[in-house]
Amino acid sequence: MSGVIRIRLEQRPAPARWLGLAVGPLTIVVTFVLTLGFVFAAGANPLTAYRTFIVEPLTSRFTLLEVLVSATPLLFTGAAVAIAFRAGYWNIGAEGQLLVGAIAATWAGTHVGGAPRVVAIAAVAGAGAVGGAVWALAPALMRVHLSIDEVVTTLLLNPVALLLVTGLLNGPWRNPETHFPESKRISSNAQFPQILPDSRLHLGFVIALVIVGILWFVLGRTATGLRLRASGLSPEAARFAGIGVGRLLLGTALTSGAIAGIAGASEVAGINYQLTDGISSGFGYTGIVVATLGGLSMLGVVVASLFLGDLVVGADSAGLELGVPSQLADIVKGALLLVVIALLVLRRYRLSFRRPAGGGVEPGSSA
């Protein structure tokens, strides 16, 4: 048995800062390597393909506005994840919070038929925020009071939220007119208005920018933001300075969940006008990529959201013009998510290689 080496994952005494700095460059490298692989597989010219992916979506009014439409849910989820990560709360549950927010927004949108439009829209957005915050509450309480790792609890609640959506759409909320697994359409007065004619760009984009702007101000210009950043950098030092870290984490987790919930409301009221099984194309998970690619800054979240929105629209164009699979954007986003999560885990934990006593590897050797 002397040749057996045991590999364990051990928590680092402090997060590895160099891995945090490596996330952005590595995700960009992965994007281009994957894209290049599919381009060669399709027999397309790489320069033409990159122009189609990156530049062409920005050359016409229609595709440029579609980039903004694709970026809208990512602005919400990227901001939600970024503020949580900045506080040292590793919220991997934005996907589930978005879905529950969409459920709550759908319920509100079907019960405000006689209300003024401003009230109806506010009710839908508010319901989405409440739904997302409620879904974020249990993991936050378990982290604050029981020291249970929120990475696990928030992640495990995502499929539960998806099953909840599926159960509602195949049960009490199934559309009685179409008999498809979709809800009834929300009231017309609860639907987000388009902000430009002949486009799908809707009020949700403006709401997302407002939220990002507020978070930028709070994080960089207020005492609350200073306490939040201090908590994220060193919880023990923050406690020594008199900061209520537990209360701060709880508030940040609920805020993060609420923002993700508004993303769900935005998809219901701005794009679909009803709850569907595919209401989220992994927007919550992609928000993790957006937040980390943007360096957890609000300006970075905006840039990363636009970059991934551009990638989605460009992939559709490349599918039509070059024969590259239109699902390429989803494949790249999935690969980026795996890279980001792996780096986040390795930033907080390290691999430890141990051999039983008498072996040639010293106990505790790690990487």
Q: What is the pLDDT of residue 315?
A: 79
| Count of the separate structural domains present in the chain | 1
How far is residue 250 CA from its own chain's centroid? 19
Q: Is residue 357 part of a domain?
A: no
Q: Is residue 244 part of a domain?
A: yes
CA distances 189 to 178, 269, 283, Å, are: 22, 10, 26
Distance CA 180, CA 149 (A): 39
Q: Is residue 18 part of a domain?
A: no
Host H or E run for residue 29: helix 17-41
Structural domain range at position 85:
74-305
Q: Is residue 324 part of a domain?
A: no
pLDDT digits (tens, 9 = 90+) for 11-49: 776 666 666 667 777 777 776 777 777 777 767 777 887
Q: Is residue 91 part of a domain?
A: yes
Q: What is the pLDDT of residue 65?
A: 96
Are 365 and 354 spatial neighbours (Cβ–Cβ below 8 Å)?
A: yes
Q: What is the pLDDT of residue 301?
A: 97
Q: Is residue 200 part of a domain?
A: yes
pTM of the model: 0.87
Q: Is residue 272 part of a domain?
A: yes
Give, for all 367 residues of the chain, the pLDDT tens digit: 456 777 777 777 666 666 666 777 777 777 677 777 777 776 777 788 778 878 889 989 999 999 999 999 999 999 999 999 999 999 999 999 999 999 999 999 999 988 999 999 999 999 999 999 999 999 999 999 999 999 999 999 999 999 999 999 999 999 989 889 999 999 999 999 999 989 999 999 999 999 999 999 999 999 999 999 999 988 999 999 999 999 999 999 999 999 999 999 999 999 999 999 989 989 999 999 899 888 899 999 999 999 899 988 887 777 777 777 767 667 777 777 777 777 777 777 777 777 666 555 545 555 5
Return the amino acid letter for 314.
Answer: G
Q: Is residue 281 part of a domain?
A: yes
> What six digits make up the tokens of 331?
């494949």
Return the amino acid letter for 52.
Answer: T
